[in-house]
Amino acid sequence: MRIISRYIAVEFAKMLGWFILSFVVIYLVIDMSRIEGFLHHKAQAGDIVGYYIYKLPLIVFQMAPVAVLLATSITLAAFGRNNELVAFRAAGISLWRIIGPILAAAALVSVLSFLCAEYIIPVTSRQQEYIERIKIKGKEPKGYLKSGDLWFRGKENTFYNIRVFEPRQKLFRQLSIFKFDQDFRLQYRLDAERMEWREDGWRLFDLVIRTAVYQENNSLGDGFQSYGPPLLSKPQFLPEKIMPELKETPKDFLEQGTKPEIMGFRELQNYIAELSRRRHNVDRYLVDLYAKLAIPAISLVMAIIGVPFSLRFNRQGGRAIGLGVSMLLGFCYWVLLALGLALGHGGRLAPLWAAWGANILFLLGGGYLLAKVNQS
């Protein structure tokens, strides 16, 4: 019995590896169109190669569920074509013993996908982004994260300290802005509860402005004058103010801010805990947190979807139809998952259901179909 289980697992692994390799090659060939843009920036060959090497873990992570679905369908179709399924059943081997190695392998892929998303992809994705933005496109690093805050250097010697930033919603909360002159002397400090992007520029709410005042010290000669440390004027409180002099756009902050898609589960969990401590709504980030567990589980879900349809249509002689139906269901799954995540991010669906709704629905449906196939 162990020999048969090992044989099934090896055949599935071969097919899975072939599909993953094929999808990676196709992905890279399609994405190679970016090379023209890289060459436009006079990128070095080593930087281009490094960019794709660091992107490889993310490609494999994204392609694994589809590869599992196809590997499941093709493996069972091959067993049916060679009458191996009939031989297994004639030898008294139950259906669960036949599909067990496939489901176990799919579960292993899900575990490896989670570990990859937790420990590898956050590192490689940041390095890939660094190569593209800094080394290839030559952009200056303008921001960095420290203790959950974003420090960002804007245009015309403007510095931002943002504690809660949601650039996709064009909204920032609890921020400070420091404006310096050409001699790098502080001109003013501004603290605001909220900053929103509007058609006429940035609009700040509940803000406090303090202007810097300098006192001249002794002359240093040759036309140079020394100044003492700045003294901040009395605070000026404003309920609302439009500031077109702030030249940055939400896109500028988006390149620097927190990106849940390249954060690990624990990293995002800690960030959510910090936002909760500051009493901010974290539902949007909870969707991404739960998705960190739900998305790796897709590989197992794809196997559970693929098995019953492959077996049913194998018996009816329609292996190609079974493969097509499995792919169609896989496509429907991705649509449902994307819809759930969108509704969760928009606050229309509870975070847990937004991330896990598609998995739960298809697991229940796949389990029911497996039970029906086993009874027939």
pLDDT in tens, 276-286: 887 777 888 89
Give the mean pLDDT of 21-47.
87
Answer yes or no: is pLDDT of 65 > 50. yes
Answer yes or no: is pLDDT of 317 > 60. no
Please give the helix or strand (H or E) that residue 98 lies within, else none: helix 95-115
DSSP codes, 240-282:
EEEETT----HHHHHTTS--GGGS-HHHHHHHHHHHHHTT---
pTM: 0.80
- Which band of pLDDT confidence, cut at 50, 70 and 90, is reported for residue 203? very high
Spacing of C-alpha 346 from chain mean position: 17
Answer yes or no: is pLDDT of 12 > 80. yes
Distance CA(212)–CA(76), nearest Å, equals: 74
Buried b vs exposed e over 240-255: b needs ≥16 C-beta within 10 Å? ebeeeebebebebbee
Q: Which of 87-91, 150-154, 319-323 has the lowest mean pLDDT?
A: 319-323
Q: Which residue has the higher pLDDT, 252 or 44?
A: 44
Q: Where are the domains of the chain?
A: 2-137+281-375, 149-254
Q: Which residue has the higher pLDDT, 43 or 112?
A: 112
Amino acid at 334: W
Indicate the SS3 state at residue 153.
strand
pLDDT in tens, 234-261: 788 999 999 988 888 887 777 666 678 8
